[in-house]
Amino acid sequence: MALAGAYKLFDQENDVVKNIKATISSGIWSSGANTLTAGMYFTQSAQSSSTGNYFFDVYKTSPATDSEAEIQFSLAYGHLHGSGSKGTVGAATGNRASAAIHAQLVNLVLPPNTDRFTYANSTTSKHFFVVSLKRARMREKMDPGNWELHLSGSSKKAGDNIRLIDDSNSTTNPESGIGGRVFNVVTGSISTGTSVIETAASSNPGGGFGLFYPDLGLIVLNADIVNASASFAVNSTSNTINTNTENFFKSVKGGAYFQARREEKLSSTHYFVRAGNKEFNFSNNPTFFTASTGDFTQPTFFKDPKVYLTTVGLYNDSNELLAVAKLSQPVLKSYSREALIKVKLDF
């Protein structure tokens, strides 16, 4: 009658299955929502005086009234020469915000000695708009083929927005570079459950709307094409206050539709907890026996004890509790019952 009766060693060969990989996808926005619709696009006024020249954070709820409002994604405008923002080369004032954003993105996702993005049909552009997903929202990566963003513009009638998706469903061998996989941004919709491309990037004058980097959570839009399609007055004058990011936000807000999904790979270990019929049939629970004599509180438990499993603890050799799992309901255990519980531990 040893205390070892409280612990049972795992048969590492048969009871433990390590490193099981599973791909999990879920809605990307706060609370697991997969779509941001009208009334779900907010910025914070305080940002305009600090980082607003560089980027706008977009919230699902108003940060002015909701203290738990979370940033969903950020919008920014980048220009090779810094146009559309204050400051010029050699000037003492102005931080050339759009040049900084452009250089930052180019450095991050393009090969060395490249100064601008190249879109389908080898089209290049000196400036872009970028949608950057908050890391906490996308966790590991955006799910290619499962996002759709609508943009409104001054040339668009209400309800006639530009609908953007990626072309991953028609790309069997995506290009992969410094920025990971990259797909073209094209017009189309995923509303039917699968990607329906309206105009392929190669058929689009100007080579598609942009590029999508799922592993980085970046959607880079060619500002020339966006401007030509939606006419939201991109300001590419040098040394001017950046209104482009604000206009881009207005376009996204006016589109009122951003559906997206995230994807992550989880590594799990499964522990098969086996309680044989002769094991774990008594309890240290103070309601199981009387403190004065040790008698069962239920006389019927003599020679036929019944206990309930509610909790499984995983221990190391030093009896340190490393992980704990709870059952959803108590499970009866007795000499006539065995229990097999699969405990899944995600890393």
Which parts of 304-323 interact with another protein (CB under 8 A)? Answer: 305-323
β-bridge partners, 131: 75, 219
- Classify each residue of 59-70 as buried b or exposed e, where b means 16 or more C-beta atoms within 10 Å of its C-beta: bbbebeeeeebb
In the complex, what is the shortest distance from the CB of residue 24 to another protein, in angstroms, rounded to a whole number? Answer: 13
Among 10, 69, 228, 243, binds another protein (CB under 8 A): 10
Stretch binding another protein (CB under 8 A), from 49-57, 118-126, 129-137, 337-345: 337-345
Q: Does 302 bind another protein (CB under 8 A)?
A: yes
Q: How far is the CB of 170 from another protein (least distance, A)?
A: 37
Write the CB contacts of 281 (distance below 8 Å, at least 6 apart in sequence): 305, 306, 307, 333, 334, 335
Cβ-Cβ contacts under 8 Å for 223 (sequence gap 6 or more): 77, 125, 127, 128, 129, 234, 236, 244
CB of 7 to another protein, least distance (A): 5
Counting residues that bind another protein (by CB under 8 A) gives 78
Q: Site residues for another protein, window 13-32 (CB under 8 A)?
A: 16
Q: Is 66 an interacting residue with respect to another protein (CB under 8 A)?
A: no
In the bound complex, what is the minimum distance in angstroms from residue 19's beta carbon to another protein?
13
Q: Is 46 in the site for another protein (CB under 8 A)?
A: no
Task: Report if residue 8 touches another protein, rule: CB under 8 A.
Answer: yes
Interface stretch with another protein, choices 30-38, 144-152, 240-248, 325-333 (CB under 8 A): 325-333
**Smallest distance from another protein to CB 304, Å:** 8
Of 126 and 274, the one with the shorter C-beta distance to another protein is: 274
Residues pairing with 299 in the sheet: none
**Candidate list 212, 327, 336, 337; residue touching another protein; CB under 8 A:** 327
151 binds another protein (CB under 8 A): no
Rounded to the nearest whole angstrom, what is the least distance from the CB of residue 328 to another protein in the complex?
6
- For the segment 193-232, give every residue that binds another protein (CB under 8 A): none
CA distance 220 to 197: 18
Q: What is the dihedral of CA 237, 238, 244, 245, to 10 degrees?
A: 170
Binding residue for another protein, selected from 58, 162, 221, 275, defined by CB under 8 A? 275
For residue 28, the minimal CB distance to another protein (Å) is 22
- Closest C-alpha among 272, 263, 266, 341 to residue 19: 266
266 binds another protein per the rule CB under 8 A: no
Which pair of tokens denotes residue 198? 């309206």
C-alpha to C-alpha distances, 336 to 236, 288, 300, 304, nearest whole angstrom: 80, 19, 15, 9
Amino acid at 302: F
In the region spanning residues 278 to 297, those forming contacts with another protein, defined by CB under 8 A, are: 278-289, 291-297
Per the rule left: phi > 0, alpha: psi between -120 and 50, beta: everything else, 301 is: alpha
